[in-house]
Amino acid sequence: MRNPNKYVHFEYANLSIGQSAELTKKISQKDIERFAEISGDKNPIHLDDEYAKNSIFGKKVAHGLLAVSMISTILGTKLPGPGSIYLKQEVKFLKPVFPGDTITAKVTVTKKFEEKKRVELSTSCSNQNNETVLDGTSLVQVER
Amino acid sequence: MIPLLKQIRYADIFPKQKFVLTKNISQKDLENFALFLADNSKDVRAKNVLAQGTYPNYLLLASIISEILGNTLPGPGYVSLGFMFETKSNNLMNAGENITTEVVVAEKFGGKFLKLHSKSFGGKNEFLLYGEILVMAPDYLL
């Protein structure tokens, strides 16, 4: 049984507009291979040097969802944390993520919906050059 | 070199073209996803993510859509530009269920762009996730 005290966890009443959380991770080729395995998306643009060399990016890139997964991790473990339910995600991919990039994902509470105890959060990921690689919004159901 | 997966050029894609994939989601699949998500953070454990229970693992459902896009429609060479995924019900998903995902070409425009719609259903055909995806389709065969 889950023990909410063990993890970072915010109930609806304790969330405030502007509250944010971040997660930074260096994306390795191993991460990309693991993601291809668990997702089933084995597009060679993520896995095959020879194929990727002739692609629009000229080299291998990470799955778009891999960066989005960092947002999911923040929502599920930091802000709002365990007990929250991911309802909606909108994302625009602005730049590719390459193996070896260091990605910082950030979520910020932008709106609270009192009646249904939901929060909207702005979501973004940037690389080591401070370039935004994706941005969007999330809608999450929060524990009362 | 990895064998080339099915690839469709922009010119060969047509509106209402559809691909449907049914995949059995095991407890191991759920755990692998949870482990992967938790591995993104040094200070949490997979158990934390698993604690979200049996609500549909949003990212797992999205990854099946990614599998269709990357492997089949439009397949290798496509570039993902953005998406919107939304759950529209409180239906739950359990280990062992067959998840059916359909991706349909909604619109072609600009000589290279596709808008696709997706729907994900659980083992009893209950609705789980709706999606809209914008991609750039390949205009060449590799």
Inside any domain, residue B4 = no
Inside any domain, residue B66 = yes
The domain that holds B106 is classified in CATH as 3.10.129.10
Inside any domain, residue B52 = yes
| B58:A72 CB<8 A | yes
The residue segments making up the domain with residue B46 are 16-141
| A73:B58 CB<8 A | no
With cut-offs at 50, 70 and 90, classify the pLDDT of residue A129. very high
| A42:B70 CB<8 A | yes
Beta carbons of A143 and A7 less than 8 angstroms apart: no
The residue ranking higher by pLDDT, A2 or A74, is: A74
**pLDDT given for residue A83 in this prediction:** 78
Regions of chain B where pLDDT drops below 70: 1-7, 39-57, 140-142
Instruction: Give the up-direction half-sphere exposure of residue A57: CA atoms within 13 A in the CB hemisphere.
Output: 23
| B28-52 per-position pLDDT tens digit | 888 788 777 775 544 444 444 444 4
State ipTM.
0.88
What angle do helix axes A64-77 and B27-39 make, rounded to 10 degrees? 90
B residues 34-53 lying closer than 8 A (beta carbon) to A: 36-38, 40-41, 44, 48-49, 51-52
Beta carbons of B129 and B55 less than 8 angstroms apart: no
Inside any domain, residue B40 = yes
- Give the residue ranges of DSSP H helices in B40-109: 46-50, 58-71
What percent of chain A is predicted at pLDDT more than 70?
95
3-class DSSP state of A34:
helix
Domain count for chain B: 1
| Strand ranges for A16-126 from DSSP E | 20-26, 85-93, 102-113, 118-126
Inside any domain, residue B11 = no
Inside any domain, residue B9 = no
Inside any domain, residue B122 = yes
How far, rounded to the nearest angstrom, does the alpha carbon of residue B12 sit from its chain's CA centroid? 22
Inside any domain, residue B64 = yes
In DSSP terms, A119 is beta-bridged to A112, A140
pTM (2 d.p.):
0.88
Q: Which of A7, A70, A89 sits opposite B48 (nearest CB)?
A: A7
